[in-house]
Structure 1
Amino acid sequence: MSVEVVASKVTHIGPIASRIRAIDRVECEAMGHGPKQALRNGFLLSDRCWTALVDGRPEAMFGAVTTSALNRTATVWFLGTDEVYRHGRALLSMGPALLREAVDSSFLASNLVSSANGKAIRLLARWGFTVEPEEHVVRGVPFRYFWMKR
């Protein structure tokens, strides 16, 4: 199986949304969106947005949304299917370079991750993010704040 990262297209949203990981669905809903709407918002609002293709099939979408150009802050996000997590080594190796490109002008990149999303927490830590231990509850779902200063 091959993993390739390409610039996102609107046609990638539906295939990912229809097979999104259960924990990613929980995160989306806690933030007040369904998976399709969350992916669409990320696609439209991100300065840069990529899709991970596994054997040509869209399996994850991720990007960075500038929250303040003046303060140089960005919200980073990643939503995917179970399939993309079967290729953790590829994600691990590609992630740092993509992050550098995504937040090239941001001083602080951050977001929330579900406390139950162990795979994402481990991946974020391996990519160099600090994942805070304190939990913040959003619509009944405990989240942890993660961040990286450049």
Structure 2
Amino acid sequence: MRAIDRIECEAMGHSPKHALRQGFLNSDRCWTALVDGRPEAMFGSVTVSALDRRATVWFLGTDEVYRHAKLLLAWGPSLIRRAVDSRWMAENLVSSANGKAIRLLQAWGFTVEPEEQLVSGVPFRHFWMIRDV
């Protein structure tokens, strides 16, 4: 897992392994990205409120997955649509220091708020997307 992703997991109170396990177990939909047959990233969505149609989306990866930026850019919007198919709002937090993830989220159509909020002393920024469903 990328160092910045480990920092994000630890700020949220999870080891990287625990974060991946909980993401897998709690997600309505979850995918593992393979590069040359090796797992290099996981992505999913967790329903926060079925009534409000809100989901938390998450993505944790290795440095290797970011070496395939064109594929990430191309496949991201389709995966997001599938992950939050019946939810109206997708959201989460991203470390303010996670520049690659912030640029990727923006390229996928998320709004990344400029304001920071501290989680266990780590500055994070809220990101979100409202979908037409």
What TM-score does the superposition give when structure 1 sets the normalisation length? 0.87
1:118 paired to 2:68: no
1:1-150 mapped onto 2 (5 Å cutoff): 20-150=1-131
- Give the length in aligned residue pairs: 131
Q: How far apart, CA to CA, are the structure 2 residues paired with 1:50 and 1:134?
A: 30
Alpha-carbon distance, 1:128 to partner: 0.1
Kindly provide the amino acid, as one letter, of the partner of residue 62 in structure 1: F
Following TM superposition, the consecutive aligned residue runs of length 4 or more in structure 1 with deviations greater than 3 angstroms are none
Q: How far apart, CA to CA, are the structure 1 residues paired with 2:94 and 2:88?
A: 20
Q: Describe the SS at the equivalent of 1:83.
A: helix
Q: How far apart, CA to CA, are the structure 1 residues paired with 2:56 and 2:22?
A: 12
Alpha-carbon distance, 1:55 to partner: 0.7
Q: How far apart, CA to CA, are the structure 1 residues paired with 2:72 and 2:31?
A: 12
Q: What CA RMSD, in Å, does the superposition of the two structures yield over aligned residues?
A: 0.3
Identity of paired residues, percent? 78
Q: Describe the SS at the equivalent of 2:70.
A: helix
What TM-score does the superposition give when structure 2 sets the normalisation length? 0.98
Q: Describe the SS at the equivalent of 2:68.
A: helix
Alpha-carbon distance, 1:42 to partner: 0.3
| Structure 1: unaligned runs, 5 residues or longer | 1-19
| Structure 2: unaligned runs, 5 residues or longer | none
